[in-house]
């Protein structure tokens, strides 16, 4: 089972899109719990997270520090870190289950960004996972599937890992397609 971690800085409508898209994961038993982590909790965010059954963590710092704070209360050893506004498509639940069935804790999975529209968007979608693996800093639009043991004390993934690109594509609802 997976803990869904949603680091949110301010885009409340995007949170609702992602939470609604991930309900199927809870119903199928793939997602065990969801943790919303934000520097500031608005009334709207509180209502949305309460209605969705999300735990809420208020924390300061950059995105990686928010992920670390959420990881402290996440119930599962595997975390799926998703930027609010990202929506999974296709057989994403079976893709996650298939990956987890054979994954080692040192495997760090990156989802793919769906490339539609202009040639640049298609090229960008293909290049983002490669750049993330090369630089060690995946684009926040890519979902990150990581084992708790691979998240270091310095709010980053540990260096001795294996990058794996997951087949699932995610759409960015915050951009016009």
Domain ranges in the chain? Answer: 2-172
Q: Which two tokens stand for residue 32?
A: 């065990």
- Using pLDDT thresholds of 50, 70 and 90, give the confidence band for residue 117: very low
Mean per-residue pLDDT over the chain, rounded: 78
Q: Are strands 55-58 and 86-89 parallel, antiparallel or unpaired?
A: unpaired
CATH superfamily of 2-172: Spore Coat Polysaccharide Biosynthesis Protein SpsA; Chain A (3.90.550.10)
Share of residues in the chain with pLDDT > 70 (%): 71
**What Cα–Cα distance (Å) separates residue 25 from each residue in 4, 113, 151?**
10, 19, 23
The answer to pTM > 0.75 is: yes
Identify the three-state secondary structure at position 26: helix
- Picking from 74, 121, 124, 96, the residue whose alpha carbon sits closest to that of residue 22 is 96
- Using pLDDT thresholds of 50, 70 and 90, give the confidence band for residue 118: very low
Cβ neighbourhood burial of 158 (10 Å; 0-12, 13-18, 19+): middle
Minimum mean pLDDT among 1-5, 26-30, 105-109, 157-161: which range? 157-161
């Amino acid at each position: 089972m997976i803990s869904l971690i949603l680091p949110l800085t301010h885009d409340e409508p995007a949170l609702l899109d992602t939470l609604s898209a991930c309900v199927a994961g809870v119903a199928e038993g793939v997602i065990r719990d969801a943790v919303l982590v934000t520097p500031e909790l608005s009334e709207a965010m509180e209502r949305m997270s309460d209605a969705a059954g999300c735990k809420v963590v208020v924390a300061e710092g950059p995105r990686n520090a928010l992920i670390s704070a959420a990881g402290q209360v996440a119930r599962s050893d595997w975390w799926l870190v998703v930027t609010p506004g990202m929506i999974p498509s296709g057989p994403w639940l079976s893709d996650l289950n298939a990956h987890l069935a054979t994954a080692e804790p040192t495997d760090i999975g990156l989802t793919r960004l769906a490339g539609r529209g202009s040639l640049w968007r298609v090229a960008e979608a293909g290049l983002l996972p490669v750049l993330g693996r090369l630089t060690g800093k995946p684009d926040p639009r890519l979902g990150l599937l990581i084992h708790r043991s691979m998240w270091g004390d310095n709010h980053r993934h540990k260096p001795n890992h294996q990058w794996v690109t997951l087949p699932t594509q995610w759409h960015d609802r915050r951009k016009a397609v």
